[in-house]
Amino acid sequence: VTVIHGGRTECFECQPKPAERKTYPVCTIRSTPSAPIHCIVWAKDYLFAQLFGERAESDEGMDAQEAAENSKELEQLRQESRALAQLAAAMGTDDFARQVFDKVFSSDIARLLSMSDMWKQRRPPTQLDFADMRRQVRAEFDPRHPDDHALLPIEDSFALFVHSAEQLAQRLLHMRQTESAAPAALAFDKDDDDALSFVAATANLRSHAFGIEQKSIFTIKAMAGNIIPAIATTNAIVAGMMVVQAILVLSRRISECHTAYVAYSSKRPRCIVREPLAKPNPACPVCRRRYLTLRVPDCANTTLGDVLDHIRALAGSDSDLKLGEDISVVEGRRMLFDPDFDDNLAKPLQDLGLVPGKMITLTSEDDSDVVPVILSIANTQHGSLLVEGFDSVPEFAPLPKPSSDGPAESESDDDAVVADDQLVVDTSGAIVLDDDHDAAAVSPTFSSKVEGISDELSKRKLDEISTHPESTPKRRALSDDDDDIIALD
């Protein structure tokens, strides 16, 4: 949990994020899997894609950088892919699931077993037989409603494979009959029951053949969909920490905010760790962008070239944007100008849709480390272009400071703010924050004492409300049905 304060703390993009998708050597996926994830990637990115998706020579999620060193083996793998593509002719027939099973769990494994040198240091796989597996299927197992959290027996995985393969084939054939504009293809979706069942069943069948630990459908869904399981207790802790930071922000106490995170470790006696808020990354392409105002006298008669000439003319002055000579201009996702595209230079801004209220991004083509500049277009009464900007983000308005003579009251008694020894209490609200960051819930009924306020002031306020309740419409007694007000630290 952290607080993003524009110009003062780092934003989400200030630190580079690790790559979300991991790649695996293609030969490991296709020939020598050794972990459940290898079988899952094979089932999802290879088998499912080859049978029901858009076929491609280079498979997503597989690293083929060593293609030159393994050209012979890769060529054999391409032949396997072409053989799978030929199975499309049997799609929709009663024999489709058997043909796919025999191809990937019998013929391909037999080919791998013929490479004896490959299995000198590892366990060889086992061929699977379609007829034997079918005889072992339990009559009570329903492949339409498998138990996602249970580790299915191999015969149930086989039944799930047959059912899901037939369902996907029927769906793809229906798409081909109804959609003529583009080649029909299915994409894997972890929330698609048929697709998930097919990937889970084929992954577990391959794991069984190679002597690898099998996984439940729920676990395979998380691994195939790159899902990080949520833990309810951790979520609750993080939510509480977010509320603490929110209270500090709403109390204009940004300097007291911090970054907090949950870290479980046997070496650390505490699981919640705090650290100061980090400063913005000077090279961040998001929060360190410069937002300026471009004032244009007449968008109908000012061209894009005029704007660029004005920007370049600022070089060497106090208003130099330091973008260099080569600049690219983008509006949203629309490229307006770059050194290789100058068709729009002579066009008026109005013709390009650049009117007051629009924003354009200027990026240096000479130096990628230069922070981009975003210009907001606005009108001006002057006869020439003008670039204006600001140096910092405005701060929050400070809270009224308590006077040394005693607590101060505003003209409206309903919104009175009193202070005593660094304590701030809003008598129409509910949160009390002191120097120790403690917070207490103050009920508008004022039925309990508020520590830290002088007895005389508390008595006067309580007597005033109880004597004239009709004169204070904002303060009413809470019924049992009203929500409690809770402040956390």
Residues with a known catalytic role = 27
CA distance 357 to 190: 42
d(CA 139, CA 60): 38
In the beta sheet, which residues pair with residue 403?
406
Burial class from Cβ neighbours inside 10 Å (0-12, 13-18, 19+) for residue 201 reads buried
Q: Is 398 helix (H, G, I), strand (E, B) or coil?
A: coil
Neighbouring CB atoms inside 10 A of 153's CB total 16
Helix (H, G, I), strand (E, B) or coil at 315: coil
Burial 367-380 (b: 16+ CB within 10 A, else e): eeebbbbbbbbeeb
Cα 434 to Cα 208: distance, rounded to the nearest angstrom: 63
**Count of CB atoms situated within 10 Å of the CB of 227:** 12
Q: Which two tokens stand for residue 415?
A: 């919104």
- Cβ–Cβ under 8 Å, residues 461 and 447: no
Cα 89 to Cα 43, 108, 180, 295: the distances in Å are 20, 19, 18, 65
Return all residues near 166 (Cβ < 8 A) that are at least 6 apart: 96, 97
Strand partners, 423: 420
Distance of CA 109 to the CA centre of its chain: 39
For residues 155-167, one letter each, b for 16 or more C-beta atoms within 10 angstroms of the residue's C-beta and e for the rest, the string is: bbbbbbbbbbbbb
**39, burial (CB in 10 Å: exposed 0-12, middle 13-18, buried 19+):** buried
